[in-house]
Structures are given as C-alpha cells and as structure tokens.
C-alpha cells in the first residue's frame, strides 16, 4: 500500500515522503495513529499544496529534537544499587530505570528509545544511546555506584596496607642496621 507519511517513522521516512508498506502495517498502525495517510490522487494534491507547511513542521521537530539531545547530553544519571563483594550488582539497571529517572528530571522518553544492549550489572560509568527522533541520537552518561563502595574500598585499602606494612618495617629495620653499621665507622 502506498502511503504519505505525516510524521517521521523510524526505518521508513520523514514527513511528506511517499512510501510503500505492507497493507496490514498501514491499516493497523500507521493510518489509525495518524502517522500516515493513503496516497491517492486527492491526498497527493493535498500534500503538494501543503508541502511548505509540512516542511516547517519537519524543521520544528528537528529543532526540538536537537534541543532535547543537548539537554540529555548535559545530564549524568546516578544509580545506587546493592552490590556484592566483587562489584556485581544485586539486580541491574535497566532502560526502564533510566526512563524513570529521566522523567523525574522532566524529560519524557519512551524506554524503548533507550538503546541498552543488556542491563547494567556492574558498578562504573557507562554511556547509553537515546533515540530522540529519527536520525537524532543523544549520548547519556550513567554512573552506577554500589551502596557498599566504602566497604569494598576499606577492604582493598586494608589489603594494600597489610601488603605494604611488612615492606615498610623491613626498610626501617634495614635503615637502623645501616646507621648502626655506619656509627662505629664514624668514631
């Protein structure tokens, strides 16, 4: 079925494009949601006549998308989760969690537009792609911290201190022996 797009549709086209799609896709999704109209003689003349208005709409949507992209790229989302001894999370950070935190900051993004190949299951810094519109992808910084970071760091510090303490004692003893050996030579 030939249709004329009224809104940008991913993997299909932009406003005003005439495309051919499966009948069911057009009848069940594109036409009822208002994303497209049937490409018949009357609608083709309508589109030609209103092409300038459609172009303005496309430019306005493009500008809104770019502004939203800039806003998203300035954000850094931080998630605190329970963490095990090896830095692995109990649970994970999913696209739904990211969408909820973005909504709290006033940015409404559908969770399906957040490109997260698999859920985040470790602590650290991550970059997540967010599809703002067709052709506009923003990079969002996500930081995952554990509620036991201080315990993990204290354990690592204690291990490091234990490893360096005998070496420091050996140096101190060696330093005392060398000064004792030098003292009689100074007489």
Domain residue ranges of the chain, discontinuous segments joined by +:
2-49, 72-149
Q: Helix, strand or coil for residue 157?
A: helix
Instruction: Find, among 70, 61, 75, the residue nearest to 8 by Cα.
Output: 61
Prediction pTM value: 0.58
Q: How far apart are CA 128 and CA 60, in angstroms?
A: 26
Measuring CA to CA, which residue among 65, 136, 142, 146 is closest to residue 102? 142
How many C-beta neighbours within 10 Å does residue 109 have?
19
The per-residue pLDDT for range 59-87, each reduced to its tens digit, is 888 899 899 999 989 989 998 888 887 77
Could you please state the CATH topology (level 3) that the domain comprising 2-49 is classified under: Ribosomal Protein L9; domain 1 (3.40.5)
* pLDDT tens, residue by residue, 95-120: 999 999 999 988 888 888 899 888 88
pLDDT average, residue stretch 151-172: 48
Do 112 and 10 contact (CB within 8 A), yes or no? no
* Sign of the CA dihedral with 6 first, then 10, 11, and 14 last: positive
Under a CB-based contact definition with an 8 Å cutoff, are residues 47 and 82 in contact? no
| Site of tokens 């018949």 | 40
- List, as own/partner pairs, every contact residues 122-126 make where C-beta atoms lie below 8 angstroms and the sequence separation is at least 24, other chains included: 122/87, 122/88, 122/89, 123/81, 123/83, 123/87, 123/89, 123/149
Indicate the class that CATH gives domain 72-149: alpha beta
Whether the per-residue pLDDT at 180 is higher than 80: the answer is no
């Amino acid at each position: 079925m030939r249709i004329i797009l009224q809104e940008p549709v991913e993997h299909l086209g932009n406003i005003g494009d005439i495309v051919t799609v499966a009948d069911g896709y057009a009848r069940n999704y594109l036409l009822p949601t208002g994303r497209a109209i049937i490409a018949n003689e009357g609608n083709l003349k309508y589109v030609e006549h209103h092409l300038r208005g459609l172009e303005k709409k496309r430019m306005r949507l493009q500008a809104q998308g770019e502004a939203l992209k800039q806003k998203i790229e300035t954000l850094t989302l931080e998630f605190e989760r329970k963490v095990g001894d090896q830095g692995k999370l109990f649970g994970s950070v999913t696209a739904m969690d990211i969408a909820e935190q973005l909504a709290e900051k006033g940015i409404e993004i559908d969770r399906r537009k957040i490109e997260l190949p698999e859920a985040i299951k470790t602590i650290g810094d991550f970059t997540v792609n967010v599809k703002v519109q067709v052709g506009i992808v923003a990079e969002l910084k996500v930081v995952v911290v554990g509620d036991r970071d201080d315990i993990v760091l204290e354990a690592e510090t204690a291990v490091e201190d234990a490893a360096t303490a005998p070496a420091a004692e050996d140096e101190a003893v060696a330093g005392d022996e060398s000064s004792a050996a030098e003292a009689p030579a100074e007489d």
